Amino acid sequence: MRAVSYPAYGVLPTLGDIPDPVCPDDGVVIAVGASGVCRSDWHAWQGHDPVALPHVPGHELAGAVAEVGAGVTRWRAGDRVTVPFVCGCGVCEYCLAGQAQVCPDQTQPGFTGPGSFADRVVIHAADVNLVALPPSVDFVTAASLGCRFATAYRALAARGRLRGGDWLAVHGCGGVGLSAVQIGVALGARVVAVDVSGAALVRARELGAQAVVDGSGMDPDEVGRAVHGLTGGGAHVSLDAAGSAPTSIGSVRSLRRRGRHVQVGLLFGAAATPPIPMNVVLAHELEIHGSHGMAAHEYPPMLDLITAGRLQPERLVGRVVDLAQAGQALADLGAPAATVGMTVVDLSRG
Ligand SMILES: [Zn+2]
Ligand SMILES: [Zn+2]
């Protein structure tokens, strides 16, 4: 089969031929229709998140079931599906409680095994991890759901408990941040978008943000004060969608009393331990949440909003490329402002 892989960290991924994967008993092989290009893939490629080399990236995928393991009961060849980027084992206490997104034995296509920059990809514990796609959702649109869109949805609806009329601050308007802007507006919130890219802020406004803050040259305290000024006392919910020490602290500084910070952007190296002002967390009774994707069983309410037209993930796709261009598209994420919105690889092209 065709696959895009890299032999070492930082070496441009290239298209080649590798053997077809073998279907595990509890899993399926999916014929990939489309695959998102996400900054988490870029982090793995940079060596921030170690993977076995050579490596096939890609964890945001949609396609059709091609092979079904003997132990799988819920799925058949031909089913149109997507998957969360975190796949649970299906048998541990967390999976049994419906919290596969924190499974200690989780698998992640494109991280713990070969990913979806390929004609075929293996998904383990398929009965727990596959999500049936409504007929109206095409593969390119669905490829954005497994990581960034679903992560943003659950971060706001479940972790942030965002309600109509709330102020939402979104720090970082890349894939997950712009998803959060659109979802926040659909849930009835008033959204303030923060970024250092003028083009990303224009896109945030197009997606319904009421106000924007250009954080260029601002420290986290200044960003917090700007959000307080625009929201009459701070955001009820604030998301760090960028994943850096300044944006994480800026998000906490943006909160209204009793507000909720949700950390969604991945943090690596020195940025992994930002100095959060715990004195303010205490005095203002702030809540600090992490959010790590969304388990497959939680997808239906989000898919209902998509089929009803209230959420439009296809509007977040900025660029569609073919498989031969996927390696360069991944490398391009080193300059996040280069493309506004998500890049998706359409495997039906080329
Ligand atoms: Zn598990
Ligand atoms: Zn991702």
Tokens of 242: 């960028």
Cα 97 to averaged position of ligand 1 atoms, centre (Å): 9
DSSP letter at 135 equals T
The pLDDT-based confidence of 318 (bands split at 50, 70, 90) is: confident
SS3 239: strand
Alpha carbons within 13 angstroms on the beta-carbon side of residue 298 total 24
Mean local confidence (pLDDT), 307-320? 93
List pLDDT tens digits, range 115-142.
Answer: 999 999 999 999 999 999 999 999 999 9
Evaluate if residue 145 carries a pLDDT over 90. Answer: no
State the distance from the centre of ligand 2 to the C-alpha of 36, rounded, in angstroms. 8
Alpha helices in 17-98 (DSSP H): 39-45, 93-96
Tell me the CB-side half-sphere exposure of residue 18, using CA atoms within 13 A. 21
Q: Tell me 223's DSSP state.
A: H
Nearest ligand to the C-alpha of residue 116?
A: 2
How far does the centroid of ligand 1 lie from the alpha carbon of residue 123, in Å?
Answer: 14
Tell me if residue 69 falls in helix, strand or coil.
coil
Ligand nearest to the CA of 148: 2
| Ligand 2 mean position, distance from CA 175 (Å) | 9
* pTM given for the model: 0.93
118 Cβ contact list (under 8 Å, min separation 6):
1, 2, 3, 4, 18, 32, 56, 58
Which pLDDT score, from 0 to 100, does residue 54 have? 97
Joined together, the tokens standing for residue 310 give 């209230």
Q: What is the pLDDT of residue 270?
A: 85
3-state secondary structure at position 321: strand
Ligand 1: centre distance to CA 100 (Å)? 6
56 C-alpha to center of ligand 2: Å?
A: 14
Ligand of minimum distance to the alpha carbon of 330: 2
- Mean pLDDT of the 286-314 span: 95
pLDDT in tens, 102-112: 999 999 999 99
Name the one residue in this structure whose structure tokens are 């959010």.
291
Q: What is the pLDDT of residue 193?
A: 98
Q: What is the mean pLDDT of residues 26-31?
A: 98
Please say if the pLDDT value at position 337 is more than 70. Answer: no
Q: What is the pLDDT at residue 338?
A: 62
Question: How do 255-263 and 287-290 pair as beta strands?
Answer: parallel
Query: Which residue in the block uniquely carries the two structure tokens 């625009």?
Result: 230
Evaluate if residue 336 carries a pLDDT over 70. no
Q: What is the pLDDT of residue 271?
A: 86
